[in-house]
A and B are shown apart, each in its own frame.
Chain A
Amino acid sequence: MARTENDIAIVGFAQGEMERRSQKTETEMMLPVVAEAIASVGLTKSDIGFTVSGSCDYLSGQAFSFVSNVDAYGAWPPINESHVEMDGAWALYEAFVRLMQGDIDTALAAGVGKNSNSDASTLYTIEMDPYYLTPLGADPWSLAALQARALLDSGRATERDFAEVVARNRASAKSNPKAQVAGDFDVDELLAADYVRNPLRRHDLPPTTDGCAAIILARGKKAYELCERPAWITGFDHRIEAHLPTMRADITRSVSTALAAAGAGVKNGPIDVAEIYAPFSFQELIIRDALDLDASTEINPSGGALATNPVMVSGLIRMGEAANQIIKNGKRRTLAHATSGPCLQQNLVAVLEGDE
């Protein structure tokens, strides 16, 4: 299909070191990654029409760190810039919508998270319902475990299935130089570990990762100028469910993912590779179910979030990895998924396509 000036593609992707504890600030983590992404398509900072990032000050505990992070763009003279307090995948969505206005032809979307400063088991209690959940210290591991237990009780998955998701992702991560947890793991040995939150074991939870990633988008002819084989975004949708997990009709089904997948046109053709952001092992099963992918689709060749999980960046990495499957590996049609909120509350799906 011939591309028009209304079509928007991912043309460049860079990700920095992914590590348990960075010695850098968020701004210092961003600087080389933003520079690498821009340089990878032969541009300079003044060529970028719109810049947007996703991050959360509560991760590093530095008030207004998202403002300091603007230093990493060299934002003088002043640039056209925005920020979302969400994963960089949603920053990418904003950049995509901004490009649709047609007056600019390039944009940069970044995500950064210094997760190691804080403790996930306490920090995320403050993103829960402030009346009914936060006062109980309802933590994300417990909420995920309640969802996992419900999935087990539905009869559609077993704890062994959870461990197999972990083993497969960590094995795939061996070929990802950025992966933090990679290797061959025996499912029986994984199942012998203690529970952190029954029925979830340590391996069912994501690692804590500090990291940054950035993506360059381009519109129309500009995409071909910057990239031999652009990853065209042919479908992009995101949907959200009720704030209280207990208000969902069935916590073991992801209605928002299914709706976003339909909106993004996932079923308009086969998907060669899907990069799924499932922070907890069993959530990959729920998302795959909602996406209704063929058995031929390769899932998370990068190793996914069970190998590397910089919160605020993981979704954007899925976009970059899915794009690289087209840009570098010649794949035809790939999918990127991102999630946010407790128990897969909000889900984003993008379909990327290379030219025939």
Chain B
Amino acid sequence: MNATWSRFNITSIVLGFAFLYLPIVLLVIFSFNESKLVTVWGGFSTRWYGELFRNQGLMDAAWVTIRVGLISATVATVLGTLAALALTRYTRFRGRVLFSGMVFAPLVMPEVITGLSLLLLFVAIGLDRGFLTVILAHITFSMCFVAVVVQSRLMTFDRSLEEAAMDLGAPPVKTFFQITLPVIMPAVVSGWMLAFTLSIDDLVISSFTSGPGATTLPMKIYSQVRLGVTPEINAACTLMIAVVALGVIAASLVNKRREVQRLRDEQAAQRG
């Protein structure tokens, strides 16, 4: 192991991870700074968190963001899972090339283009910009990410299970809900989480597609950041990081427990 994992490899990993994590760690530390000057340490304090919760504008925006995230992630997960099934199970249908193009292109499409084009669509069909249009926009770009996550799980899926169920007379819909869905569930759940994070994170597409009364948290943060760095924003960012970190840790714990359960079941099956 020492021969292959050289000191150079270890150094580059350590430096790479330091680069990835240091800015976030510094941001979190300075959210507990007493001083109003963000980059000068003035002692430990949680006063900015207090200020944050008294800031009605930010709280409203946070509530909008959470609702948009929950709704759009859920719809995007359903549509993305269907898209993944369509891509992996039906290898030949008319327009498949166009379809896979439309699934992969949004992953790299610059957000300004997606945002502008969706806005122009909403104007063209006479839909007033607001809560609904932000949700529709978020579903559209996040369902493609869900599709990619679920698709990679479906490709390693053992199809003989499904075939067995269908040979025993189960209709495809029942087979899907009783066999396929439980197996791909971890991927569907991480797809949902990815869609939710992308949604609560998005600034550019939301700015184009939202209207009065549907200001999201990133839009609010962005308009304040443009005026300068404030400890209050550091506190808001720290809370968002904490929420996401808790979610990721919880998900990995659930996954691990499921894995342990699965191993135990397999062992029991072998013994029995």
Same complex origin of A and B: no
